[in-house]
Amino acid sequence: MSCITGIGSQDDWHSDEKLNYSAPKWTDSKRKRLAQMAYADDPRLRAIAAAHPKTPALTLIELMHDPDVQVRRAAIKNPNATAHMVEWALADEDLGIAAYARMLEES
C-alpha cells in the first residue's frame, strides 16, 4: 500500500500534470474554511482566522471591526494588513492596537 492510499482515496486528491504535483483536494478550500471561521460565534476561532495569512482580504477587513479586541489585535498583526487597515487601527479604542498601528505606519 502506498502512502497516498493510506491518506485517502484517489478521489480525494487533485493532481496537476503540468506542474507535476499531487495535493489533497481539501487544501484548495483553506480560504473558504478560514472565511467560515471568521464568522464563528467563538471569538477564538475568529482570531485564528484573523491571524492566518491566507484569510481573504475582504474577510480580514471585516475582522478589523470585530467587537472582540483579541480578534482585532490578530487582524492588525496579519502580514496582509493593508494601509487602510492600519489607518482604522490608529483610531481603535484599544491602546495596544493603536500603538501597533503607529509602529506599522512609521516603518
Report pLDDT digits (tens) over 49-103.
999 998 988 899 999 999 999 999 999 999 999 999 999 999 999 999 999 999 9
C-alpha dihedral, 27 to 63 to 92 to 51, nearest 10°: -20
Residue 87's domain comprises 29-106
Whether residue 19 is contained in a domain is answered as no
30, amino acid identity: K
pLDDT digits (tens, 9 = 90+) for 3-50: 333 344 444 444 444 444 444 444 447 778 888 899 999 999 999 999
List the grid coordinates of 32. Answer: 473558504
The answer to pTM > 0.85 is: no
Whether residue 50 is contained in a domain is answered as yes
Dist. CA 32–CA 54, nearest whole Å: 10
Number of structural domains found in the chain: 1
CA–centroid distance for 17 within its chain? 29
Whether residue 97 is contained in a domain is answered as yes
Look at residue 14 in the predicted model and tell me its pLDDT.
43
Look at residue 16 in the predicted model and tell me its pLDDT.
42
Look at residue 10 in the predicted model and tell me its pLDDT.
43
Look at residue 30 in the predicted model and tell me its pLDDT.
78
Whether residue 7 is contained in a domain is answered as no
DSSP string over 63-74: HTT-SSHHHHHH
Instruction: Output phi, psi for 105, to 5 deg.
Output: -65, -35
DSSP 8-state class, residue 53 = T
